[in-house]
Amino acid sequence: MLATALISWDALLVAFAALGELLAVLFVYRVLVRGGAPASTVLWMVVILAAPWLGLLLYYLLPRRLQLRRLHAVRQRGVRFRAGRERDGAGAAAVPQSCGGLRAFLAGADSADLRADNELRWLPSAEDFTDAAMRAIEAAEIEVDLLVYIFRADRSGARLLEVLAAAASRGVTVRLLYDSIGSFGLHDRDLVALRAASGRAVAFLPLLWKRRPFTVNLRNHRKLLLVDGKVGFVGGRNVGDEYFTDRVGRERRWLDAMLQIRGPSVAHLREVFAEDWHTATEEALPPLPAAPPVSGGAACAVGIVCSGPDREQSDLWFAFVQAIADAKQSVDLSSPYLVPPPTLLFTLQLAAARGVRVRIHTNGPKAEAAVLYHAQRSYYERMLAGGIEIYETTADYNHAKVLVVDADVVIVGSANMDLRSAHLNFEIAAVALDAPELGRQVLATLDARIADCRRLRAEDLPSDPFWRAVDGFCGLLSPVL
């Protein structure tokens, strides 16, 4: 009897191992035909073949894309609506025969939807943003749409929820969409008043989304506030005390930035929100009429670019690379972390080699995530050798995600310059063209912040073998950070 039982268990284990090997081969084929970065593809192949069941489990639990066929219909509705606006002449951006590569890209990409005649307002401080945002919500007549990665139930979060609930109680449609992981501290009890006033609050991709567990790898990192389809805010600020007060604890400053937009491009921001709302709820929102063009010499052409696991093409990263490639005089890039995708790093190095002044504004050793800091430091030697200037914060925390090229092109959005933002997060940015006044204001803000930063030199890099090894090891982890 015992011998028979042992034989049965041996046969079961052999069958289990054989099934694992068969599935491993099938999934390796799937990884190969799916494409992607060679390093990532090789890593998945090695893990799946070396430990089939563990590799398959990780491959299932850490998805890189969303299969959203129904979302295609929502996007097509947005494309048709934009086409109708263009036939009516609502803010269509004329593209000259001789134009820069970035303008040509934005004008040619349907999803970018380049629109002229927008009024832009630079909001570098918490006071600037909160004052403008609260005024806009309090004046709302039709709807308020808010999308954030982090929504904290602290004093600032409670204050905003009160303003949203007040808007909902007077008949304004209020929709709050927050990332389920980024806003894990936000609970149903915090949303009672908003929902009692008929406001909607929905978590984006919870862990058991559509009965598939652990979508933790795919996060909505966008920050959007839209009011009546007329005014929109986009940038790096979430909802919480540090974002609304520009303070981290008692001593450190929080450096961030938002851009306010009035004009036809707000309609495209609303379409992006509608897509994310549909992903979370499967509800299709009706389009709103485009805001009228803004007249005046300061009006700018604006394109809205996105990236994410629900898109085949990353217009956001195409725009970043093309903007830097077009640079003739200067590039200023601000990001909390700098673990750049290879193409972005190459483009920055090439710009510096052409004689363009390239400045990087990022966080120093007191960065929020030590592993990310050491990973970004593994790139410093190549950057400095190529003539790129690097400015690190010494005590403050820089959360601003901004690119300024030739003091004329400005990109403000939600994306960090790292591989997670490039490949896994839902991200968004506004690209302003022919915006010298905005460019001047943004550069003035960055120049003022440089006063409290240190410029790195080659001799500032670690020479100790241990820390060089730490930086190198963290750099190897950059694809999963």
The whole-number pLDDT of residue 96 equals 44
The whole-number pLDDT of residue 370 equals 87
**Catalytic annotation on 401?**
yes
pLDDT in tens, 405-423: 999 999 999 999 887 888 7
pTM metric for this prediction: 0.86
**Catalytic annotation on 228?**
yes
Asked whether 388 and 357 are in contact (CB, 8 A), the reply is no
Of 213, 156, 210, 221, which is closest to residue 186 (Cα–Cα)? 156
Asked whether 388 and 348 are in contact (CB, 8 A), the reply is yes
Q: Measured between alpha carbons, how far apart are the two ends of the chain, in Å?
A: 52
Of 238, 220, 268, 203, which is closest to residue 66 (Cα–Cα)? 220
- Of the residues 221, 230, 268, 278, only one is catalytic, namely 221
Note down pLDDT in tens along the chain; length 481 residues: 545 554 576 677 767 677 767 777 776 666 666 666 665 666 667 776 777 767 667 666 666 566 555 555 555 555 555 555 554 555 555 544 444 789 988 888 767 789 999 999 999 999 999 999 999 999 999 999 999 999 999 999 999 999 999 999 999 999 999 999 999 999 999 999 999 999 999 999 887 666 555 567 788 999 999 999 999 999 999 999 999 999 987 788 999 999 999 999 999 999 999 999 998 998 989 888 778 888 766 789 999 999 988 777 889 999 999 999 999 999 999 999 888 888 999 999 999 999 999 999 999 988 878 888 999 999 999 999 999 999 999 989 999 999 999 999 999 999 998 878 887 889 999 999 999 999 999 999 999 999 999 999 999 999 898 889 988 888 877 766 6
The whole-number pLDDT of residue 71 equals 52
Please list the residues that pair with 300 across neighbouring strands. 118
**Catalytic annotation on 210?**
no
- Of the residues 154, 241, 406, 434, only one is catalytic, namely 406
Asked whether 181 and 216 are in contact (CB, 8 A), the reply is yes
Please count the other Cβ atoms lying within 10 Å of the Cβ belonging to residue 366: 15
- Of the residues 228, 326, 332, 418, only one is catalytic, namely 228
- Of the residues 117, 179, 223, 230, only one is catalytic, namely 223
The whole-number pLDDT of residue 5 equals 53
- Of the residues 230, 374, 401, 423, only one is catalytic, namely 401
**Catalytic annotation on 72?**
no
- Of the residues 230, 268, 278, 399, only one is catalytic, namely 399
**Catalytic annotation on 399?**
yes
Largest pairwise CA distance in the chain: 92
Residue 383 in tokens: 């950057």
Asked whether 200 and 174 are in contact (CB, 8 A), the reply is yes
**Catalytic annotation on 221?**
yes
